[in-house]
Amino acid sequence: MTETSAKIIADSVSPAGHRFVTFECVYPRIVLAEVNTHRQLSRVSASSRAVPVEKMIRRVLENPYVPVHWGKNQKGMVAEQDVSADDQADAEVAWLAARDVMVAQARDLLNIGIHKQITNRLLEPFMWHPTVISATEWDNWDHLRDHKAAHPDFRDLAHCMRELRLKSEPKQLSYSDWHLPYIDDEDFEAGILGDPLNPAGVLGMLCKVSVGRCARVSTLTHEGKRDLQADVGLHDKMAEHGHTSPYENVARPMTPDELGLFKQKKMRWDPVHKRWVWVGAQYKKLSRPGSRLDFSIPMIECDPDERGSMLTTEGEYTHFLGNVQGWVTLRKMIPFEEDILGARS
């Protein structure tokens, strides 16, 4: 029986101290929409459109998602207590009966000749959903999702991921190394990466293979012996059609020059003036006769480095390129990655 789970498939730290972690997760399909609200996470998910209907039916019959937490109905978004053991047993029977009805309806649609991109949608509440997730920033995720107010299945996932990160020892990379999910020592023996700082090097076999393997979660085809050339071929096919999400999971550390280029002022919330301000910002007053409101604004009209009082330590800077801090993902090294097909037209 499948259950909500996660495992780290790559954990790296750059020379500048930025940590990049990639997980392979399995969780109920019903919480996918909430997972997708976190924009600092790079994700590659299984696709209901990519799997044959009969294969999906077999999965939900043999190994369906069944809630573990049966919360008692009440006002608000959070069920503060579960129903009785007898009611939980009855709820599970009702849930599986609904599964059986949807399986029957999916088969009817299949017999009519309806494509899997529609038919499989009936089965989604009963699916387990595999996803590859990578990120450098986890504070918001932990705060919102490893919390008693989160959906119980989402909370289980977030708690598991936090515990794994705390226990994991990241691999120290140099500026010439790459964060490569699903690549092991045997793969290094089979392919040559080349110079990752050379534009030709980023197209090396192992980068392509890692991208291809991250992408395979979308078709649930990660089982069995891996084929290097098949993974390279999948990478090339995605590049041709502009499917670049899997490229966000493969990355190299920013060089010292790039860290300077992408150095940004860090902001904080000022509870007194109720506004976001640059770290270390001072204030000036805007007078408004007859008004009792405080119109203080941060002094940000001059360069912070020139003032000297705004930023005092390296820790008050951020180094973001896209949603990742301190790293350059392979996606950002694709020309016109934000609009590949438009650039070709």
What's the pLDDT score for residue 340?
Answer: 57
Structural domain of 221: 5-253
What's the pLDDT score for residue 249?
Answer: 96
Whether residues 128 and 216 fall in one domain = yes
Distance CA(189)–CA(21), nearest Å, equals: 24
Name the domain boundary from 253, 275, 310: 253
Q: Are 311 and 279 in contact (CB under 8 A)?
A: yes
pLDDT 10s per residue in the chain (345 long)? 578 999 999 999 999 999 999 999 999 999 999 999 999 999 998 888 888 999 999 999 999 999 989 988 888 888 888 889 999 999 999 999 999 999 999 999 999 999 999 999 999 999 999 999 999 999 999 999 999 889 999 999 999 999 999 999 999 999 988 999 998 877 766 654 444 444 444 446 788 889 999 998 866 555 545 677 788 888 888 888 888 889 999 999 999 888 888 877 776 666 666 666 666 544 444 444 444 434 343 333 333 343 333 333 344 678 888 899 999 999 988 877 766 555 555
Is 258 within a domain?
no
Distance CA(56)–CA(103), nearest Å, equals: 9
Dump the DSSP string for 306-337: HHSSS--SGGGEE-EETTEESEEEGGGGSTTG
Distance CA(305)–CA(8), nearest Å, equals: 39
What's the pLDDT score for residue 51?
Answer: 87
Name the domain boundary from 201, 224, 253: 253
Q: Please report, for the domain that includes residue 59, its CATH number.
A: 3.30.1360
What's the pLDDT score for residue 129?
Answer: 93
Please, which residues bridge with residue 42 across strands? 134
Whether residues 294 and 219 fall in one domain = no
Is 285 within a domain?
yes
Expressed in percent and rounded to 5, the helix, strand and coil fractions of the chain are: 45, 20, 40
Is 88 within a domain?
yes
Is 196 within a domain?
yes
Is 330 within a domain?
no
What's the pLDDT score for residue 243?
Answer: 84
Whether residues 155 and 297 fall in one domain = no
Whether residues 295 and 217 fall in one domain = no
Is 327 within a domain?
no
What's the pLDDT score for residue 314?
Answer: 42
Q: Collect contacts of 169-172 with beta carbons under 8 A, ≥24 apart.
A: 169/11, 170/11, 170/12, 170/13, 170/19, 170/21, 171/11, 171/12, 171/13, 172/12, 172/13, 172/15
* Other Cβ atoms within 10 Å of 162 Cβ, number: 16
Whether residues 268 and 244 fall in one domain = no
Whether residues 168 and 94 fall in one domain = yes
Domain count, the chain: 2
* Other Cβ atoms within 10 Å of 32 Cβ, number: 17
Whether residues 233 and 291 fall in one domain = no
Residue type at position 82:
D
Distance CA(217)–CA(246), nearest Å, equals: 10
Is 338 within a domain?
no
Whether residues 272 and 132 fall in one domain = no
Name the domain boundary from 231, 253, 275: 253
Is 332 within a domain?
no
Whether residues 77 and 180 fall in one domain = yes
Helical (H) or strand (E) element with 62? helix 53-62
Whether residues 193 and 306 fall in one domain = no
Whether residues 122 and 216 fall in one domain = yes
Whether residues 240 and 269 fall in one domain = no
